[in-house]
């Protein structure tokens, strides 16, 4: 029997001290955006949206579409590790303060809709949040049955796919 099954980790309240205690927590909690007392997932998504635009406009030759694709793939893989580690430390596999999954998923949405007007980006933000919060099938299934870092990351990627599918249908109409 493992030590974790004898003494499972206690649920830890997300604080700046906890977040800064480990680089994994800092990343998983979206550089602090996940510590928002109100709708941390939305705060993380908003951080992702702003970061994508700031980086893309400030350094367009560095943050090209190809580079963003690699950043998103590597960010997804990193997210599996840091969200798993942070979830274990917090005693909750998918704690609401872990928003790296929302950040990566929002970057994926933005990569595929760019260039886009501010209004279009607002709709992308809105629909991603709707799909992430309501978790239509199979998102709810993944959320409930796939645990650990991969599960944390995967359900948001599916919500991003739903958002992109909605945009593809919208553009066809």
Q: What letter does residue 155 receive in the DSSP assignment?
A: H
pLDDT of residue 3: 45
pLDDT of residue 12: 81
Q: If 0-12 CB within 10 Å is exposed, 13-18 middle and 19+ buried, where does residue 63 land?
A: middle
CA distance 26 to 16: 9
Residue 3, in any domain of the structure: no
pLDDT of residue 8: 54
Helices (H), the chain: 3-6, 16-20, 23-28, 40-58, 65-90, 100-113, 118-134, 139-145, 148-172
pTM of the model: 0.92
CA distance 165 to 153: 19
pLDDT of residue 10: 64
Angle between the N-to-C axes of helices 100-113 and 148-172, in degrees from 0 to 180, rounded to the nearest 10:
30
Q: Mark the ranges of the chain whose per-residue pLDDT is less than 70.
A: 1-10
Residue 67, in any domain of the structure: yes
Tens digit of pLDDT for each residue in 5-42?
445 556 788 899 999 999 999 999 999 999 999 999 99
Residue 156, in any domain of the structure: yes
Q: What letter does residue 38 receive in the DSSP assignment?
A: S
> Which residue is associated with the tokens 């001290």?
17
pLDDT of residue 62: 87
Residue 7, in any domain of the structure: no
Domain that holds residue 124: 14-21+38-172
Identify whether the C-beta of residue 127 lies closer than 8 Å to the C-beta of residue 166: yes
pLDDT of residue 64: 94
Identify whether the C-beta of residue 41 lies closer than 8 Å to the C-beta of residue 132: yes
Residue 31, in any domain of the structure: no
pLDDT of residue 2: 43
Domain count across the chain: 1
Contacts by 70-73, CB closer than 8 A, 24 or more apart: 71/107, 72/104, 72/107, 72/108, 72/111
Residue 60, in any domain of the structure: yes
């Amino acid at each position: 029997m493992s030590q974790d099954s004898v003494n499972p980790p206690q649920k830890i309240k997300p604080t700046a001290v906890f977040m800064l205690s480990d680089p994994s927590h800092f990343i998983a909690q979206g550089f602090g955006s996940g510590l928002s007392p109100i709708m941390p997932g939305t705060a993380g998504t908003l951080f992702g949206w702003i970061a994508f635009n700031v980086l893309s406009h400030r350094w367009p030759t560095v943050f090209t579409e190809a580079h963003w694709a690699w950043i998103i793939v590597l960010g997804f893989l990193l997210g599996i590790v840091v969200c798993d580690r942070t979830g274990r430390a917090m005693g909750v596999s998918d704690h609401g303060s872990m928003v790296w999954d929302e950040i990566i998923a929002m970057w994926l949405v933005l990569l595929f809709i760019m260039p886009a007007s501010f209004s279009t980006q607002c709709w992308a933000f809105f629909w991603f949040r709707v799909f992430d919060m309501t978790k239509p099938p199979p998102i709810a299934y993944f959320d409930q049955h796939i645990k650990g870092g991969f599960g944390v990351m995967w359900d948001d990627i599916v919500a991003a796919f739903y958002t992109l599918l909605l945009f593809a249908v919208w553009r066809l109409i």
